[in-house]
Structure 1
Amino acid sequence: MTTRMEDVIIVGAGPTGLALAAELRRLGIGAMLFDRLVEGANTSRATVVHARTLEVLEPLGISDVMVARGIQLRAGQLREKGGKIKATIAFDELPTKYPFVLALPQNLTEEILVARLRELGGSIVRPIEATSLTQTSQCATLTYTAAGTLVQELSARWVVGCDGLHSMVRQAVGIDFTGGAYEESFVLADVEMDWPMSSHAAANTLELFLGDEGITLIAPLPNNIWRIIATQANPPQHPDVQDCQAILDARTVAGAKVHRVVWSSRFRIQHRVADKLRQGRVLLAGDAAHVHSPAGGQGMNTGVQDAITLANALTTAIRSGDESELAAWEEKRLKIAHSVVNTTDKMTKLALSSNPLAHLLRESMLGLMGHVPALEHAVARRLSEIDNR
């Protein structure tokens, strides 16, 4: 075995790991970033970038690039089947440079982050899979396999787990991941289709349909692609044209016609938060630290914000030995994670419940939102995450 010492090792090269590595490089801190996959997933997955995420990415110099490549959605419409609007969540009056929701597929977000990381002299080492982790008061040491065979050790002053829901890093240091799972499955599909609402102002809105069949969200993506997200009891692993068409016919508006599925998947969702974000020389960020319902589109956003704020705290700790900023970072980010998980959990349970009382409550809340602008504005602020400044 050979042993090397790094300042920071980042496990996992999704948006959180990429943002952390790039920001550390910009701040003059060396960071080794590795991932177990031979290449990135290169699929759209998370497609929403909120205002606060664009704000924190400004120092990296990529926010304007992201905006140029995405679609600015100025509002979200909550509708019933057939299209009647129950409430509108407007983003264009938010007090931010980015008063919109940016529709940008995750593969493009990652592409932009990778390009900036390389400009700053960084890279991603692939395929490297961490298999175990030990630590002392001075460093953490990872044992890993390269290309599945070569076993080595790599040590760093700090190791950050950005390795997702099933984080090896989190499990290796024994941090509990408290929460549970939802019974419902979700369909994700990016499609080419005729969407009757694209001919008017709704072309630049998120459309969320609420009905007895479940939740269905429709949003435009770059290159004339539409994202469909829908709850379904037992969807196929990869929904096809007929599956997507059936969802639209049963839940949205007349005239929608799916021509081709570009990418699709199904997934089950969980709601969990790590009991802590630091154990000795090991830190957690992104999905390794918190996972939740996609309601509100805040998963990737919260992870990227974890990363950028962590980079600043790590830089101070490495340069001065003062770890007080890390303690403050952990406290604040845990509070935010619990807030996001609690909010999305309530939204999801209320929207999915078959209980008549829950339906009545949902309709009452939507009716109230539709007549109280201050409430709509508060929801927009919450989703944009600008109150996390």
Structure 2
Amino acid sequence: MLPQRTDVLVVGAGPTGLATALTLARRGVDVTVVDQQEQPPLTSRAAVVHAYTLEVLDRIDAAAPLVAQGVRAPRFSVRDRDRVLLAVPFHRLPTRFPYALLISQAVTEAVLTERLADLGVRVRRPCRLTGLTRTPDGIVAETDGGDVRARFVVGADGLHSAVRERSGIGFAGPAAVESFVLADVRVRSALPRDEAALFLARPGPLVWAPLPDGVVRLVAAVPTAPAQPDVAYLQTLLDERGPARRPDRVTEVLWGSRFRVHHRIADTFRSGPVLLAGDAGHVHSPAGGQGMNLGICDAVAAGTALADVLAGGPDGLLDAYAARQRPMAEDVLSFAAGLTRLATLPPAGRPVRDVLLRVLGALPPVRHRIALRLSGLSHREPGPVAPVARSNVAGLGAAG
């Protein structure tokens, strides 16, 4: 049964909603989390947690259990079949987490859910938001489980956000939609098992990312994705986009699906007592693995601002949240779109692209700037890296 009152109602229990709630609960805020799905998904499309996101998660004591379960990738490569066009090293990044952590989103959600449970907060599901009504002291959220009075509501409910729609916040972007196939597979491959790769191919980009237990995540832009890609379909993708001299061989499909991506951003991330975070505020291509990472950064920033306001801080902190996170989202949308354009250049432009990438990749300062961008550390606010408890980071500094 839902409580009749709460300080903050978080709608959506994906990584963004869970991280928001955990940030609030650790500050002693009365937070309620609802999700319309009866059970959390066991499969998910995000597979990388970048260095800046790990720093953010460490603030809420959630980085260490993730690092313990993931694959640390100290570099990222951009390839055209067998040629490495650009190798981006992470081991020199100014962070305690000099790698990309390759791990299923389902594991990320499980860790955040467990941390919340330790603080006495559980996700109320299934529970669907049906309306929002503003009041002088906050907002009434109407759900199919009853009405909840809250000081604030956080919409972390994804692309088709009911919170965003019920709040009348615009969600602008081009009409074009990208189609992607994704799958977790077992493959016989000569590619490194501690490195994610982006293959640039005329038909579209292919992401190859090793996960724990010998699993490889494949994500590819395709004109029309099958609902359940099989071995033959995924083998064809690898044959036309992946390594040629020593081709991969798919031996098993553990899970596969499809999804469509819009490129959109909310007009604002705040409307009175309503804040947006994650895909409710921004959606874009998965190129570069930025979506979930930006959502988690939104979450901790929103949770921190709300906790500060509820503790007596100025209301302007919520405006500052929106003013900081929305430009970050615009930057990530532009970055992801640029990576997609690189992959889909017409044949006449590919030789120039390949030479340019190899020239740039030979320049250490350029490689470092690209690493900062991919890792999210380019969005870090100026200042020293905050210290953390020794128990959280023991053994986490090595790059795999």
Structure 2 length as normaliser, TM-score?
Answer: 0.91
Residue in 1 aligned with 2:224?
234
Corresponding residue to 2:287 among 289, 295, 299: 295
Corresponding residue to 1:370 among 361, 369, 374: 361
Give the Cα separation in 2 of the matches to 1:165 and 1:24.
23
Give the Cα separation in 2 of the matches to 1:346 and 1:78.
13
Shift of 1:84: 1.6
Residue in 2 aligned with 1:188?
182
Residue in 2 aligned with 1:217?
207
Matches within 5 A, 1:91-240: 91-146=90-145, 152-197=146-191, 202-240=192-230
Shift of 1:170: 0.3
Pairwise CA RMSD: 1.6
Matches within 5 A, 1:1-389: 4-81=4-81, 83-146=82-145, 152-197=146-191, 202-253=192-243, 254-320=246-312, 322-354=314-346, 356-357=348-349, 359=350, 362-389=353-380
Give the Cα separation in 1 of the matches to 2:367 and 2:17.
33
* AA matched with 2:72: Q
Shift of 1:252: 1.4
Aligned residues: 377
* AA matched with 1:131: T
What SS does structure 2 have at the residue aligned with 1:296?
A: coil
Shift of 1:195: 1.3
- Specify whether residues 59 and 90 from structure 1 end up closer, same or farther in structure 2 by C-alpha distance, changes over 3 A only: same
* AA matched with 1:36: Q
Contact 1:182 1:268 in 2 (8 A): no
- Specify whether residues 234 and 311 from structure 1 end up closer, same or farther in structure 2 by C-alpha distance, changes over 3 A only: same
What SS does structure 1 have at the residue aligned with 2:144?
A: strand
What SS does structure 2 have at the residue aligned with 1:207?
A: strand
What SS does structure 2 have at the residue aligned with 1:187?
A: strand
Structure 1 length as normaliser, TM-score?
Answer: 0.93
Q: Can you give the 5+ residue segments of structure 2 that lack an aligned partner in the other structure?
A: 381-400
Quick check: which one's strand share is greater?
1
What SS does structure 2 have at the residue aligned with 1:332?
A: helix
Contact 1:190 1:226 in 2 (8 A): yes
- Specify whether residues 34 and 62 from structure 1 end up closer, same or farther in structure 2 by C-alpha distance, changes over 3 A only: same
* AA matched with 1:56: V
Give the Cα separation in 1 of the matches to 2:139 and 2:333.
30
Contact 2:275 2:302 in 1 (8 A): no
- Specify whether residues 97 and 166 from structure 1 end up closer, same or farther in structure 2 by C-alpha distance, changes over 3 A only: same
- Specify whether residues 184 and 8 from structure 1 end up closer, same or farther in structure 2 by C-alpha distance, changes over 3 A only: closer
Give the Cα separation in 1 of the matches to 2:10 and 2:332.
24
Give the Cα separation in 1 of the matches to 2:297 and 2:69.
20
Shift of 1:360: 5.0
Shift of 1:186: 1.3
Q: Once structures 1 and 2 are overlaid, which stretch shifts more, 153-162 or 178-187?
A: 178-187
The percentage of counterpart residues that share the same residue type is 40
Q: Can you give the 5+ residue segments of structure 1 that lack an aligned partner in the other structure?
A: 147-151
Contact 1:316 1:323 in 2 (8 A): no
Contact 1:11 1:161 in 2 (8 A): yes
